[in-house]
Structure 1
Amino acid sequence: MTKKANLKIKDYSISQEEFTLVYDEVLDMFSTDPVPDNLGKYYLSENYISHTDSNDGLFEKVYQWVKNYMLKKKVKLISSYVEKGTLLDIGAGTGDFLNQAKKSGWKVTGIEPSPAARKRAFEKGINLFEEEAEVGDRKFDVITMWHVLEHVPDVEKQIEWIKNHLSTDGVLIVAVPNFNSYDAKYYKSFWAAWDVPRHLHHFSSKSIKTLFETNGFNLIEQKPLIFDSFYVSLLSEKYKSTSLIKPVSAFMIGLRSNWRAQQNKEYSSIIYIIKSRNTQNKTF
């Protein structure tokens, strides 16, 4: 197999700056270099819609429509592994997932570093912690990270923290983009899910399996996030086409990505269901 080379990727959504993605052959993972000292400023934009609930343009409307549809699907997913209990969402954004889980009977806790996002969550009746230290030594039946692990500076330190805060038979849900997907290979440097420098790490299925199994977890199951290929392709078309956005082309690439992934399982984004290795075996 040909060794992957480092990549040069531009921040098309906010700063227009260029960053290098450094490849780790052992983990099959890229990491963004350099990591800006003032990383927070790269989130301070209406373009960063997971923190703003923006619903103004085509991309925002697509994002919000899919998000609202997926909220119930995500709660249904976690409830298929743990019927009800305590739930911690790391990187909770504006609190919509926790709000839906709360309505479904979960006892919810969330962590979100963005003041603007926490404010919006508070307006929805969801109080979020700013940082993990505020959680103390509490343990949770389910911990979720929906497109958050790629934002974490020290992945192994994060995994260790999760291990210390997951209950004995708890379940961890991690969703991240997959750079081995068809849409990633098609759009190359324009692939929107690179999202540098906000995304500090870029994963494959091998990355996730290796990272978590090395640190005391077992990967139980993988599930696709079907809609991600369409949204990411639409945004990638925006980056790629300076004068004309091609929604039909984006739809076809998203469709083709999902079709190919039915054979090779390389979906645009993947949900990983993970359990601590020291838990008892359980049939799902």
Structure 2
Amino acid sequence: MILINSTEYYTHQEEDPSKKQLANICETIGANILLTNFGYSISRQGKWWSWVLSLMGPLKELVGGNVMWLKASERGRLLDIGCGNGYFLVQMRDLGWDVVGVEPDPKAVKVARDHFGLRVFQGTLEEAKFPDDSFDVITMNHVIEHVPDPIGLLSECRRILKPNGKLVVVTPNIKSLGRYLFGKSWVHWDPPRHLFLFSSKSLRTCAEKAGLKVQRLWTPAKGALWMWMTSRLIKCDGFIPGGLLNKVSLRLKMEMIMFWTVEYIINRFRYVGEELALEASK
């Protein structure tokens, strides 16, 4: 299980030994972070340097985001709305959660069911008609910006959450540092797929109108790498090219890392991270 991001789940290319080594290092660091910060015990021996690297704030934020900041002590029945092909659910299942998904794309649902053996409902959350008080945790990662009725969706989440359950929502932050820097080239405008974009104030208002109690609302900087890469390409070329990851220059990679570091530091004082993250309860 790759704990520090991989967006390519299938490949027909011969594996590059250097990339395999890097992936192993990332997995080791991620395992250490999951153990020390979130309580998940993963069988992966780490050298002293991996424990040192696992103390770095930006890496902790990145790995925490990969599990939606859910701790092992909270394990129970988890619903992921807009689960795609189920990669997040597979990770959480491997970490001991009882997982269920909802996804409207039939091709993605087929992969989730046939390839990963997941329980995934094809359609919208409202169409799934889950009983009241069904889930300990509900997650939505970059979903709420796509729906025509965000408050209605949050209200349905409240209905099917257990009394002491938790909802975790992640969505682009319209007041992020990247949005200010790139303006109309900011990748998260993404029309016509993004119907709504939120500030911390508007997301909180939507949650409260849906009857939810906001427990925590913050702006992670973990999306800074992807935002910088894609927005920079949009600004220069007017579009994001196919085979994106193979066309990233060393200079662009260095820019991404520098921007990620700067945004992480500024974000300690002002809510300018590329994403909004909300934790709410019933």
TM-score (normalised: structure 1):
0.68
Match of 2:273 in 1: 267
Percent sequence identity over aligned pairs: 29
Sort the Cα spacing of 1:92 and 1:238 in 2 relative to 1 into closer, same or farther, 3 A: same
Match of 1:112 in 2: 103
SS in structure 2 opposite 1:226?
A: coil
Q: Distance in 2 between matches of 1:121 and 1:107?
A: 15
Any gaps of 5 or more consecutive residues in structure 1?
A: 1-48, 277-284
Any gaps of 5 or more consecutive residues in structure 2?
A: 1-5, 13-18, 31-61, 239-247
Alpha-carbon displacement from aligned partner over 1:57-85 (angstroms, at most 9, x marks no partner): xxxx9xxx8x98657754372226x6221
| 1:173 pairs with one of 168, 174, 178 | 168
The answer to whether residue 194 in structure 2 is matched with residue 199 in structure 1 is yes
Sort the Cα spacing of 1:157 and 1:76 in 2 relative to 1 into closer, same or farther, 3 A: closer
Q: Distance in 1 between matches of 2:184 and 2:169?
A: 24
> Shift of the alpha carbon at 1:174?
0.3
CA RMSD of aligned residues (A): 2.9
Question: Aligned ranges for residues 1-284 of structure 1 at < 5 Å?
Answer: 53=9, 74-75=66-67, 77-79=69-71, 83-122=74-113, 123-131=115-123, 132=125, 133-138=127-132, 139-242=134-237, 247=252, 248-276=254-282
Q: Distance in 2 between matches of 1:165 and 1:253?
A: 39
Question: How many residues end up aligned between the 2 structures?
Answer: 218
Q: Distance in 2 between matches of 1:72 and 1:181?
A: 20
Sort the Cα spacing of 1:162 and 1:96 in 2 relative to 1 into closer, same or farther, 3 A: same
Q: Distance in 2 between matches of 1:54 and 1:197?
A: 28
* Relative contact order, higher structure (CA 8 A, sep 6+): 1
Q: Distance in 2 between matches of 1:264 and 1:72?
A: 20
TM-score (normalised: structure 2):
0.69
Alpha-carbon displacement from aligned partner over 1:8-64 (angstroms, at most 9, x marks no partner): xxxxxxxxxxxxxxxxxxxxxxxxxxxxxxxxxxxxxxxxx97x85779xxxx9xxx
Sort the Cα spacing of 1:54 and 1:190 in 2 relative to 1 into closer, same or farther, 3 A: farther
Sort the Cα spacing of 1:209 and 1:193 in 2 relative to 1 into closer, same or farther, 3 A: same
Q: Distance in 2 between matches of 1:92 and 1:172?
A: 15
More helix by share: 2
More strand by share: 1
